[in-house]
Chain A
Amino acid sequence: MPDILQKAITQPPEASPEGGHTQVLLDAEHLAFRAELRAFVLREVVPIAEDYERAERFPSDLLKEKMAPQGYLGIPYPKEWGGRGLDYLAYAMAVEEFSRAWGSLGIIVAAHTTLGIGPLYNFGSESLKKAWVPRLAQGEIIGSYGLTEPQAGSDSGATHTTARRDGDGYILNGTKVFCTNATHAASTTLTAVTGKDAESGRSRISAFFVPRDTPGVMVTKHEDKLGLRGSDTSTVILEDARVSEHNMLGREGEGFKIFMQTLDNGRISIGAMALGLAQCALDEGLAYAHNGLGLFKSLFAEQETLALLADIATDISAARMMLYGVAKLKDAALPHTQEAAMAKFFASEVARRATDRVLNLLGRDGGIRHDCPASRAFRDVKLCTIGEGTSEVQRLVISRELLRNYAKGENK
């Protein structure tokens, strides 16, 4: 039903379903960027989304030919580094708008921008950055990220992948699973154990930037997934893959910290993706109610439906305020671990409820059909309560931060 999306996307901001809040929160530059994004999405993404999704086709052509020239593959990076030179808020809005039309595109951009480029840009050596960041940020090549291992999911500290010192380099061995974009990526940022801490006995984890063409790097097993089927999720296997010591990000033993910081930012992306998918469901629900199909003629008092739409819109609005708020915190370089976890947790649960409830509203007039955008969003959104830390992990992160801050107050 692209006409529904078309209507929603082309509406003037003050009439759009997200309401007037964003008018206050966003400045003229961000409002203009959003208008640009919506026009782009409508022109380039909406017409192809369902076909690509169904064919499980990774949108290399869209990324390279259409998005790269707009700077959409390096939105929060400076222009001198090949990026679009906007802030993280603008980037989060972009992930939201892409996901509203096509969840797979949202996660591709998120994994590339935050996870693929982020650790390199923030912690890479000057020479490594010069060699890679512009090409990634300009969208000439795509990046990916490897943290999860078969036995290290939520417990990402339990990494088994090793990096053994070898002259002026490191030899990497291990397996990373669920790496978004990996099949199509020219690089993977990943974690590996470089030793054991003498005192605690814990693994010392370091971060590396690994080019795809490094001998010993293999990408296998494209995952067959519930949703986000236009995106690629694969396994990266390292067999005696040797990289230069200059490919280490940050210092030896800093990898876990670097990746946790990266996840703080990644959670903003996943929250933005959830928000876009929730908005997609609301778009469809509104169009359905507006057209008064089926239900309203006789059997139903409209109250339930109206309340359902109000609930969803209120939830989404609250989630959006949290999300834009944490993006602004990041742009102000303020701590945002707790706020990112809250925004991601809330947005993903809101989106799960919103897509679920809209499918009941649409019922058999589309909701259960495989190719209905709300039905696609329903399948896509489950990943948002899992990726970048499950909802259970988010709640542990939030409570840990709460207690840490409380203890600080006690000590004063």
Chain B
Amino acid sequence: MSQYSLVAALIALGLASVFYVWQLLARSGTRAARVATAGGPSLTVALPTGAPASGAARYGTLLAANGLAFLTLWMILRSLYTGHGPFSNMHEFSAAFSWGILAAYMAIELRYRVRVLGAVVVPAAFGMLAYASTIPADQAPLVPALQNNLLLTVHVAVSIVAYGTFAVAFGAALLYLVRARIGEERLPSVALLDEIGYRSVTIGFPFMALVIILGALWADVAWGRYWGWDPKETASLVTWLIYGAYLHARTLRGWKGDRSALLLVLGFAAVLFTYFGNLFFGGLHSYAGVT
């Protein structure tokens, strides 16, 4: 049953990605008004008129919302089936990660009414879900260290919010960086992309702090030490520090534009590194218990 909703979400997200990307590529139809202010810098205001491509984006939104609904349904069904949150193996983490990206994206789309971002972020959510569906779903039983329902659920749920918002920031930064290549008139104003990146990080940064702290709390309960320089916890610290650097650079040093966008891209690379880390640091997030 839960597999059906996962497949439905996958299809919805795949189609949504197509519409979003098409909208971005065909966006030259949107009228962009250049308004020169007296004495001030000129502003680009993309008017949300009914250009043909915005129809495609609307389908994109509709499908992405459906994808989110199916994924939410999957999470509920999966939890009912396994008896704990859908956070216990790579299949479940990845589908939940996809949910996080999508939820963060939908919130930003609602807030800023910018659909262009979907062309980057929704395919990312789709990719994550596609990756999840390549991993066998059958639940490997939990090793003892992971048998802590409360901490496991909260730790992973919080990380999904952090990773989701960082994915949205990454999408905004990527559009920022490539805007010269695809033509500015297809994009929302540069300042808006910069703001979306920042706003996402303002949510993600405290959540990431919470992820690290909950991890430390858990390590203390399970192993009797809150910090042990385990590669996974160290990688999450690296991620957090990069976003910390970004906040200072942008807010205090006035790093705007490419440099701060690059930090966001770097930050998301660190997120992916942290996330997939287990695969190459060889299971050193040592779910110990036996040595």
Question: Is B one of A's binding partners?
Answer: no
Listed in ascending order, the chain A residues whose CB lies under 8 Å from chain B are none
